[in-house]
Structure 1
Amino acid sequence: MKTNLETLIVDDDKLTLHYIQNIVKESKLEGPVKTSTNGKEALEILENAKDSSEKVLVLLDINMPVMDGWVFLDKLQEKEYKEKIQVVIVSSSKDPADKEKSNDYPQVMGFLEKPVSPNVFVEIFDLFDSNIVIKTNPSSNNK
């Protein structure tokens, strides 16, 4: 069974956006793929789609201009639709403190260091396609 999942790729590097977008489009996931170059723009995209019943996978860079990934995650905590958002951080950061900090956000299900091979994304998308990763009980996310 295919998962109809919206994917939002948030990264200020246009080459990275294009690279990840191609991998997502070639994956088994069905659903729209959107891109954003900063967290502020990404939140606007989510706001415009907040009434959709689709789950959203956000592939999020941390270090970006305008609004970085951490501020994006902080602001996401204030949104009523946060339970349908799943985030995988895709960052060039090798700082263990960043990985540790990502655990503070219930929506973050993983932290990948760039460069990321297409096989890693395929595994993530297969998990979503199997409906393994998508959390269906929002109350289990309380921290």
Structure 2
Amino acid sequence: MKIHDYIIVDDDPTNNLICKLVIEKFDSNANVTVFQQPEQALSYFQSLVKKEAQKKIVLFLDVNMPTMTGWDFLDKFQMFDSSIKNMFEIYILTSAIEDFELEKTKYPMVKAFLSKPLRKSTLQELELNFTS
């Protein structure tokens, strides 16, 4: 079964639009939610109830945001109940050219580090991870 729920957390409205369009082209049944403020995404995650815990959500997270970095976001995310954390497949989406070796160790819940802009071919490569 293909995942149809996607969340983008990025302060850049242009990148968010590109991501949303690429995801919808990849998955015509996609339900894409966008948060430009990471704090709002964290509040939304806290509101998820256990009955939703069976669904899988793909999260595309930017690293460089002005009010909270992606790393700060993940630090707060790690404090959530495991029933919420297990709902997510997390992908870092960044324009940075760093290798993030330290972060790969510190944040094992991140499935992959992807370059901006998101491309349909990237989603196709990851599709094996999207099946259950």
The alignment's TM-score, normalised by the length of structure 1, stands at: 0.78
Unaligned runs of 5+ residues in structure 1 are 132-143
Residue 65 of structure 2 corresponds to: 64
Unaligned runs of 5+ residues in structure 2 are none
Q: In structure 2, what residue type is equivalent to 1:57? A: V
Residue by residue over 1:89-133, the C-alpha shift from the partner in whole angstroms, topping out at 9 and shown as x without a partner, is 00111122x343133213200001223433112322x224433xx
The alignment's TM-score, normalised by the length of structure 2, stands at: 0.84
RMSD in angstroms over aligned alpha carbons? 2.0
Residue by residue over 1:39-79, the C-alpha shift from the partner in whole angstroms, topping out at 9 and shown as x without a partner, is 21111221222431311111000001222210110011100
Residue 120 of structure 2 corresponds to: 118
Q: In structure 2, what residue type is equivalent to 1:92? A: S
CA 1:128/1:31 → structure 2, altered by over 3 Å: closer, same or farther?
farther
Give the distance between the partners of 2:14 and 2:76, measured in 1 at CA: 26
Where 1:109 maps in the other structure, the secondary structure is strand
In the TM superposition, structure 1's runs of 4+ consecutive aligned residues that sit over 4 Å from their partners are none
CA 1:29/1:88 → structure 2, altered by over 3 Å: closer, same or farther?
farther
